[in-house]
Amino acid sequence: MKKRKKKRTRTKDNVGIESRARTKDQNRCEESAIQKHEDAALKTVLGYFADELLPYFGIKGEVKGYAPTEIIHLELKRLLQDFNLIMSDGSWKHFEFQSKNEGTKGLRRFRSYEAVMSQHYKVPITTYVLYSGNIRKPMTELQEGENTYRVVPIIMRDKNADKLIGKLMKKAEAGEDFTRSDLVPLSLCLLMGGRMPLADRVKDAFEIIQKAKGVSAEDIARLEAVLYVMADKFLKREEMERIKEEIGMMKLTQMMVEMGREEGRSEGRSEGRREGVDQVNRLYRRLVDEKKYEDWERSTRDGEYQKYLFEKYSIL
């Protein structure tokens, strides 16, 4: 006589364990998405505004170009770095972005990047780690055997967003011209220290960028896009919705002021500039809303791909 198989019953304990496991997996996926979110924004900022950011971080040297960030190791292990800059003296500046302090684990990984890339390309490399979040005193030195490995930390919480925004607000109100160096730090204001609420930082930063004179439409579009991506990461959903409405109102107001002040050909140029910026921003927001960060990052550096996305989403 065949024995009947015991039917497996799901107890309350089993259901609870399964539920906690699912929650844990969801949290991991969300953390991974958030990290990609921030990395995409930071890579875009460095890709377009390295000449302005390096002096802001106290890093000396002239940027000559961009170096590869991927190499296939001899063990067929793919090493992916965040960003590499080629300097005029032939050296490389290697950047990593950390929102969580990995300690020894992270330093060992950065050291392996340096060693493999330096050997492969025959160049001296210095690693800078941009620490965001609440990281203030990260581990920056690793002692193993007779060797000491160090990275150069950039602590974003040591920067003061209140002072930065206050200074630029005064300049905007005075009607003074801005430079790229003035505006680029605004794209990172949500990573900085300060007492100003994050939603207020975003609103004021957009207002400053809207009033900026002396900066190209392309640069304004890129700065607004990075700021928008950062806001989408750090703000609550209701705050983000309110910011979207306020940004729209600021753009409308700015366009009306320009139309009232400008005449003839100058008016046409100003309106065309504004329309171009609005078109790019509508695309960037669409991509961010749909969490298509890779498409967004590529569109900031590939004009043909950007045109393709304009047609795909019927943004005219």
User: Which of 268, 135, 248 lies closest to 191 in space, CA to CA?
Assistant: 135
Question: Would you state the pLDDT for residue 92?
Answer: 93
CA distances from residue 183 to 24, 42, 52 in whole angstroms, order as listed: 39, 15, 9
Condensed to tens digits (0 to 9), the pLDDT of residues 214-261 reads 888 888 888 888 888 888 878 888 888 888 777 765 554 454 444 444
Condensed to tens digits (0 to 9), the pLDDT of residues 187-202 reads 899 999 999 999 999 9
pTM exceeds 0.75, yes or no: no
Distance of CA 311 to the CA centre of its chain: 25
Question: Would you state the pLDDT for residue 255?
Answer: 44
Token pair of 301 as six digits: 């550096």
Higher pLDDT, 245 or 32: 245
306: left (phi over 0), alpha (psi -120 to 50) or beta: alpha
What average pLDDT does the segment 147-152 reach?
95
Q: Is 246 exposed, middle or buried (0-12, 13-18, 19+ CB in 10 A)?
A: middle
Beta bridge partners of 86: 65, 92
Higher pLDDT, 88 or 280: 88
Question: Would you state the pLDDT for residue 260?
Answer: 46
Decide: 86 and 63 in contact? Cβ < 8 Å.
Answer: yes
Between CA 217 and CA 220 the distance in angstroms is 5
Residue % of the chain over a pLDDT of 90: 30
What average pLDDT does the segment 78-104 reach?
85
What average pLDDT does the segment 4-13 reach?
52
Question: Would you state the pLDDT for residue 231?
Answer: 85
Question: Would you state the pLDDT for residue 142?
Answer: 95
Alpha-carbon torsion 225, 231, 236, 238, what sign? negative
Condensed to tens digits (0 to 9), the pLDDT of residues 259-283 reads 444 434 444 444 454 556 667 777 8
Decide: 44 and 52 in contact? Cβ < 8 Å.
Answer: no
Question: Would you state the pLDDT for residue 53?
Answer: 85
Query: Letter for the amino acid at 124?
Result: P
7-11, 23-27, 62-66, 147-151: range with highest mean pLDDT: 147-151
Q: Is 111 exposed, middle or buried (0-12, 13-18, 19+ CB in 10 A)?
A: middle
Q: Where are the domains of the chain?
A: 57-157, 160-312
Any residues with CB less than 8 A from the CB of 59 and at least 6 apart, and which?
93, 128, 152
Between CA 187 and CA 220 the distance in angstroms is 11
Q: Name the pLDDT band for 313 (thresholds 50, 70, 90).
A: confident
